[in-house]
Structure 1
Amino acid sequence: VAETLSNTLEIEPMLNGVLRTTVERIGVHGGAIHLLSDDGTTLSLAAWYGISPETLEQVTGFTPGGADLGVISPASRALNTRPLNIPNETGIYAVLSVPIWRQGQIQGIITLAHDELRPWRAEETRMLDAIGRQIGVALVNARLYGDAVRDEAHIRTILQSVADGLLVFDRHNNLTLMNPAAEALFSFYPTESGGAARAAVLLWEWLRTRDTGTGEPVEFSLPTTPIGPAEEDARCLSINRVHALPHDPAWPCWLVDGSPDEADMRRCPVYERISRSALQAHSAAVQDADGQVLGTVIALHDVTYFRELDELKGRFVSTVSHELRTPLSVVLLQVSTLLKYYDRLPDDQRREMVSEIQQQAHNLRELVEDILELSRFDARRSMPQKQWFDLVSHIEELLGTLEPSIQDKNLHLDVSRNLHSSYLYADPQQVMRVLRNLLGNAIKYTPEGGQIALRLEQVGDEICLSVSDSGIGIPAAEQLYIFDRFFRSEQASRMASGHGLGLSITKEIIDLHSGRIELSSTQGEGSTFTVYLPVHHE
């Protein structure tokens, strides 16, 4: 019986096994085990062997769900009250029931039934009592095990739902747990090389070399796409160094002990080309109640957004400082010249200098307005004030304001339209801001004598606004970043002044109108920006 009880901690197979063993070893007709509910008010039939539940109820008087907790008396009452009928109806002549004890409390009842008319021997009663006590201990262990399994399942469910990546290693540095968020971070590592589990072990090997014992997080980057062997070779060649790296081209070389420092990697074109996510690793020892270290838990927090924000802030400060310094320098120079030599300068030169000051002041105002506009977009304080308006008439008014700039460069502007209706439900000021930015860029980056085309047409439930030019075009590698704030291509920066916010504002406005913008461009041949806006009221 003891061996049967130790084979499993699941209650149902444990009780069935021990009951069958008891019935067969003692040599009786059958038996049953009833368990008491947690609140101690009712009995339930948990196992039976060799005898049906209906017969058990007859000969014991124990009704499943009932509250009669008598041990021997119910059967005795049944047999004494109907001394002929019960044996004849059931074939059972003797019943023995003893409590299942644990620490002085009844947990249930184990019952044996015999089809022979004979008294129960003392050793049988003592044996069944001992078995009942063993079952009591086993039930407590099984319930504790069940609680532990449920608790573990609950904890695992929580860990699986955590947004941060979690890794758990035992004291021998074997990976014992990895949640889905961590698996996603290691998706770049190929399955044939060991997949996410192998990548987690490689990262832990590298992190252990960076552990300073201060509890400070370690920041690093992981690729978001697989690394090919050719890129690994190119990276090592590009920095002109030989590193004692393991032959694992799928693992980033900057996460290996003895790897190149950040300055070296920044000089590597392959490293700069690989898409990466920035992460912080927080490690903590797992200890038992006695302070013994059982392993290590590592939390991987994705800080890519914050690093991109830091980069954007740095670019913002650099760009704004430059854009402010240039016009301010011109203004200060002109003002200083006027103050020193006003009486010596002819009137036409003074007017030219004042005009230059005015132009630079306009540039400053435009920059400040663009920065404020983007801040309002970020704070959702510049939501579209939509209304029905005549798109064509607004465009004609806009073209009138741009006509002097077009004539100054001797550009040819072709306007065509194919609209069912010229009315659009949108914010007229913001839509005109979009067109002014696109047409302004076309004028700015198209050489003298070039071509500009504005197309208006209705495509289904959308208005299509297309601005094309025969200008300098945009290199394919730079088209991915053209709508980023403060981004300006090298060729555009050499050709004309600007601060790289116009297309960012354009994209924000179009997104707020549930529209989209597409770019088609060939370097040296020109660009086409196409805007799609829904016509009807949302």
Structure 2
Amino acid sequence: MGRDAEARLLRRAVRSVAVQTAFAVAFVVIIVALGVVLVFDRQQSVEISGIVRRAAATAEDVADPPDGVWLVLVSDSGRTTSAGIPSAAADSAVLVSAPPGEVSFTAGGQEWTAWVDQRPASRFVAIYDPSRHEAEEHRLVMSTTVAGIVGVVLAGVIGLGVGRRAVRPLGRAMGLQRRFVADASHELRTPLAVLHTRAQLLRRQVGRDDPTSAELDQLVADTKVLGEVVADLLLSAQLEHADVVGEDVDLSALGAAVVRSLKGYAAQSGVTLTVTTEGRAHHDAALDAGSSSAGDLDGQDDGRWSVIGAPTALRRALLALIDNAVAHSRPGETVSVEITRAGDEVRVAVIDTGDGLDPADAARLTERFARGATGRPGGRRFGLGLALVDEVVGAHHGHLEIDGAPGVGSTFIVVLPAGGPPGVDGG
């Protein structure tokens, strides 16, 4: 991750804090608003009940009802109503049949609250005008909504300020980590290279019949492994904290060069290494002579295998895949490296017929120090290598495809965007 990517990450973190704060406040506002409306409705219901009860109990005629109330006088001679009462409410049969006391009924698609006061020869019914309650409730909801929106906006602004203060230590920590990686890269590589060289010199000074010969061989191997592990860790850290500086890389040439460097190691394990570009073999004589490109080997180089990337990182990724394939192959088996061009992608497949792996574990295998399930005790180990390959490929805007089956081999395919001219799709 480069500086620009880190800056984007910090900005996203600030925005995330602001958005989460705004959402939290919005949630609280909604809960409070619902509570206020419920309390308001409950309070209004009690007040409306008291208003209609008093209006019905004190009514002497229907000519002058209290504000917001209509009166209906039901007697043997018929019904007499206050002016302006909706006909749906005035004509409802409930006014005649309802028992004394509070009554709620529906008429004309509207809910009505009324109070029936039964008298010897008649009954007065007080009906509340619901439009008053609806208007007050609308004003309450609107004021609560406006207050809530203002509160959410203010919460977002406050969240931005809090987010900036919260991620400031993270930015400083990233800067310190970036400087540590640079310092470690400078300070560790040289001492480890010197240590490995001294171990090799010491081994050359001791004959094969010396009792310490085997231990010195192991010391040389251990210092080499230590250097490779540190190189992997540093490369992984650099990929996380620096943008990949791109240049034109011929994957065909790179694949051939890596195979050439590992042929001796593979031969010691009894494993044969082969490399082909678009079905054309890179012959051993050409490899041994030092040729490293498909063009040199086949008489042409049209740049169709080129990608834009960091040669050292890509070489380390291919080296890790081929080394892993050789390590998990049996004597007499073959590890094949196939480079093809498919549309706008260059694909490098490393194929072995060794221990194999379960495709269901493919996603987990790119985790650091993952262990795959195979027929051998303990499973197939991938250590840091496959995780590093995945990071290198991801940093180059590509992806890693994994396939295989336990006991029958595995296939790892590095897929990268092509940087050269388009050619015939690879088969």
- TM-score when scaled to structure 1? 0.37
More helix by share: 2
Comparing both chains, which one has the higher relative contact order based on Cα–Cα distances under 8 Å and sequence gaps of 6 or more?
2
- TM-score when scaled to structure 2? 0.46
